[in-house]
Amino acid sequence: MQCSCMSKTITIDDDAYKLLRKLKRGTGDSFTKVIRRHIIAPAETAGELLEAMAVQPPPNVDLHILDRIERRRGRRSGGRK
């Protein structure tokens, strides 16, 4: 979906740029697409919230990390192993 919109130049910190760059999905992905995928306008009504939730893709979860978190649940950092 190409837009004939006016381009704008923005200034962001290096760490924000690195984060956006990591979120790109290949060479065809633009920073505009990354921002639109990850920035959601606040819902003003319950109906808007439900609509927004219905069109969102499932969260991108690393299942290996999730499994590790579940196995270690209840343990304290640096405690007995």
Residue 40 belongs to domain spanning: 14-71
pLDDT tens-digit readout, 15-49: 999 999 999 998 999 999 999 888 878 889 999 98
The answer to whether residue 79 is domain-embedded is: no
User: 0.75 cut: is pTM over it?
Assistant: no
Alpha carbon distance, N-terminus to C-terminus of the chain: 52
CA dist 31 → 12, 41, 59, 74, 77 (Å): 12, 17, 19, 39, 37
User: Looking at the domain assignment, is residue 35 inside a domain?
Assistant: yes
Q: Is 1 within a domain?
A: no
Give the per-residue pLDDT at 78.
62
The two three-digit tokens of residue 31, written as one number: 């920073």
The whole-number pLDDT of residue 81 equals 53
Would 21 be classed as within a structural domain? yes
Flag whether pLDDT at 79 surpasses 60: no
Tell me how many domains the chain contains.
1
Q: Determine the pLDDT at residue 31.
A: 93
